[in-house]
């Protein structure tokens, strides 16, 4: 499966990251370019004083741009769905909605703007819907479950654990953007990158979830809280104190080291001293 992971605000960490980000970052940009003839027609109609024509063509341009924006949301969710081995299907059918908006807009533009008969305009709308579907497809509708049934854990259990972990990782990413120290940003990037590697490891062998559940909850939640706490503390003062900087740096060191160790232990199915390490980190987080 793909090992793609997001890195913001800096560039992706691996070639597969860059390829994934580039593919889904550029996908659908053509949808923003194709409606410009409608914009030009609207400007021409306005110059001629054709208010009705301006409203029709201008409205069509706006609707096409809205559809492009909706579709891009769908491409983003589709990219996340495809890069994971175990994932829920996107709940919001963004691509399907975009295709419908394009079809309806094309129908109305042909009928009201180009004076096509309604049946002919509907045919053009259907062609637009088909063109979008053939070019971009519609939204995935089935959850990707791999072969979870053979591992003694339920689909819902694995999906819930992965989703909760991803929420915590995303929160760390958001907090990281508010930190100006480049060293801390890089270390937090390595932490979230390693966390996503651990999630990939669980996807490849869901039985590992039983070994990693407490780790994911304590460490990811701890990393999230301490990062958000550092951001809050530093924003409430003109400058951060030396004690705060030292404590935050020490906790980052502990989290980064243990993430690396836990990933190795999961790959070797070794969780012998995990609980001891978690207790040590809990004490550091309290301080």
Other CB atoms within a 10 A radius of the CB of residue 270 amount to 13
pLDDT of the chain along its 287 residues, tens only? 333 333 333 334 444 545 555 566 678 888 999 899 999 999 998 999 989 999 999 999 999 999 999 999 898 888 878 777 777 778 889 999 999 999 999 999 999 988 999 999 999 999 999 999 999 998 888 877 766 655 566 777 788 888 888 889 999 999 888 888 888 889 898 888 888 888 888 877 777 777 777 777 777 888 888 888 888 887 765 555 777 788 888 888 888 887 887 777 777 765 545 555 556 666 666 66
How many structural domains does the chain have? 2
Of all helices (H) and strands (E), which one includes residue 280?
Answer: helix 274-286
- Range of the structural domain that residue 29 is part of: 15-136
Q: How far lies 85's CA from each of 1, 92, 158, in Å?
A: 6, 20, 12
Is position 123 within any domain?
Answer: yes
Burial class from Cβ neighbours inside 10 Å (0-12, 13-18, 19+) for residue 167 reads exposed
Q: So what's the pLDDT on residue 236?
A: 67
Give the span between the Cα atoms of 129 and 78, in whole angstroms. 19
Domain boundary among 112, 136, 160: 136
With a CB cutoff of 8 Å and minimum separation 6, the contacts of 118 are 111
Asked if residue 5 is part of any domain, the answer here is no
| pLDDT at residue 205 in the model | 77
Nearest of 262, 151, 163 to residue 206 by alpha carbon: 151
Give 211-241 as a DSSP string. HHHHHIIIIIHHHHHHHHHHHHHHHTSSS--
Residue 86 lies inside a defined structural domain of this protein? yes
**pLDDT for the residue 1:** 35
Same-domain check for residues 89 and 120: yes
Look at residue 208 in the predicted model and tell me its pLDDT. 76
User: For position 2, what pLDDT does the model report?
Assistant: 36
Choosing from 105, 136, 167, the residue where a domain stops is 136
β-bridge partners, 87? 144
Is residue 87 located within the same domain as residue 124? yes
Residue 122 is predicted with a pLDDT of 96
Residue 143 falls inside a structural domain: no
Boundary (domain end) residue, out of 136, 161, 183: 136
Q: Check whether residue 28 and residue 127 sit in a common domain.
A: yes
Provide the pLDDT for residue 239: 53
Q: Judge if pTM exceeds 0.75.
A: no
- What is the per-residue pLDDT for 5? 37
75 domain-assigned: yes
74 within domain boundaries: yes
Same domain for 254 and 171, yes or no, is: yes
């Amino acid at each position: 499966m793909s090992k793609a992971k997001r890195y913001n605000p800096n560039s992706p960490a691996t070639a597969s990251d860059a390829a994934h980000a580039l593919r889904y970052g550029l996908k659908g940009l053509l949808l923003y370019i194709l409606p410009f003839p409608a914009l030009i027609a609207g400007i021409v109609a306005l110059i001629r004083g054709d208010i009705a024509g301006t409203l029709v063509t201008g409205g069509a341009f706006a609707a096409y741009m809205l559809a492009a924006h909706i579709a891009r949301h769908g491409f983003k969710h589709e990219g996340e769905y495809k890069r994971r081995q175990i994932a829920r299907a996107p709940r919001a059918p963004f691509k399907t909605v975009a295709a419908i908006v394009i079809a309806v807009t094309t129908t109305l533009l042909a009928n009201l703007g180009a004076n096509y008969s309604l049946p002919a305009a509907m045919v053009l709308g259907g062609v637009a819907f088909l063109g979008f579907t053939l070019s971009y497809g519609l939204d995935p509708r089935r959850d990707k479950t791999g072969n979870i049934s053979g591992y003694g854990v339920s689909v819902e259990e694995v999906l819930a654990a992965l989703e909760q972990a991803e929420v915590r990782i995303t929160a760390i990413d958001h907090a990281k953007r508010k930190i100006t120290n480049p060293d801390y940003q890089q270390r937090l990037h390595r932490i979230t990158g390693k966390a996503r590697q651990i999630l990939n490891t669980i996807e490849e062998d869901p039985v590992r979830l039983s070994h990693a559940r407490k780790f994911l909850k304590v460490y990811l939640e701890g990393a999230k809280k301490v990062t958000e706490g550092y951001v809050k503390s530093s924003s409430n003062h003109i400058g951060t104190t030396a004690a705060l900087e030292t404590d935050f740096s020490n906790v980052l060191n502990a989290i980064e080291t243990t993430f690396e160790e836990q990933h190795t232990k999961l790959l070797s199915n070794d969780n012998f001293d995990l609980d001891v390490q978690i207790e040590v980190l809990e004490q550091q987080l309290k301080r």
